[in-house]
Amino acid sequence: AKSAGKGRWRRYEASLHNQVIKRMQIRTDLDQAIADGAFLLNYQPIVDLGTGVTRGLEALVRWHHPTRGMIPPLEFIEVAEESGLIVPLGTWVMRNAIATAATWMALRPEDPPYVSVNVSVRQFRTPDFVERVLADLAEAGLPPRLLTVEITESLLLGDDEKVHADIGRLRQAGIRVSIDDFGTGYSSLSYLHRVPVDTLKLDKSFVDTISTSARQLDLVRGIIRLAQTLEIAVVAEGIETATDRALLIDARCGFGQGYLFARPMPRDEVDAWLSTDLP
């Protein structure tokens, strides 16, 4: 038994070693990737749950690696956060997403979709974050109401005056602010009173359980009711089944996103998508 334990330990050590090497490799490659312009954005529709009409699209970054092919964000966002590379990467994502959203205005002039952009804590905390976003909007000619900034609960934890003030400045300018992965973090609803936001994105882990757990469904109903009281819109993430959609509609959830409606798609497929999904 002892030697089996030792074997397990060795395997554990080896896999840890491999993970460290892999992360170091990702880190050097990331540096190069920013220089090479090896990133691209996919867009996933956010729909009105009742009608299925697209209201917005979330920008999701992809890394086209020279030898490893397409690398999903879960494999490099964290490394980029740790090394600080998330700042230039995030700046690129913001500019690019805003410029792309400006091209959607012509496709649906009366009712253009918004673009929703993920912003990491580190990126948000850079001194000129707000100025830069405003400059990007002005340059692209995108009205501020067509940009949503997705932040995570962890940004609000520190009770940082500057962060609160910057969220206020974004909203004052007409940009919408959304809390991403709502419910996975600290679930302290109290910050919603202190820091007003426009939207909550209910995490997929909730959506996945509502069809099998009455308790979870009650919890989700409660969150949606609270959001309604605070005039916060709710987007449910990761909807994969018609059953979940129906339960969410019944719970008065306004919006949804997930494979049931559409997968994230490259920019050139978005135009066709937008011209076909009107009611």
Which parts of this chain interact with ligand C2E (CB under 6 A)? 44, 60-61, 72-74, 77, 90, 93, 118, 120, 180-181, 237-240, 257-259, 264
**Per CB under 5 A, 150 contacts Ca ion:** yes
Q: Are 180 and 149 in contact (CB under 8 A)?
A: no
CB atoms within 10 A of CB 144: 16
**Per CB under 5 A, 180 contacts Ca ion:** yes
Strand, helix or coil for residue 150: strand
* Closest CA relative to residue 207, chosen from 246, 157, 169, 156: 246
Shorter beta-carbon distance to ligand C2E: residue 106 or 242: 242
First to last CA, the chain: 65
Query: How many whole angstroms separate alpha carbon 178 and alpha carbon 182?
Result: 9
Shorter beta-carbon distance to ligand C2E: residue 92 or 191: 92
Strand, helix or coil for residue 195: coil
Give min distance, CB of 90 to ligand C2E, in A. 6
- Interaction partner, residue 259 (ligand C2E, Ca ion, none; CB < 5-8 Å by kind): ligand C2E
Shorter beta-carbon distance to ligand C2E: residue 227 or 236: 236
Chain positions 105 to 124 lying near Ca ion, rule: CB under 5 A, are: 118
**Is the CA virtual torsion 108, 109, 112, 117 positive or negative?**
positive
Geometric angle at alpha carbon 71, from 68 and 75, rounded to 5°: 115
Shorter beta-carbon distance to ligand C2E: residue 1 or 35: 35
Shorter beta-carbon distance to Ca ion: residue 119 or 247: 119
Give min distance, CB of 116 to Ca ion, in A. 7
| Site for Ca ion, rule CB under 5 A | 118, 150, 180-181, 201, 203-204, 237
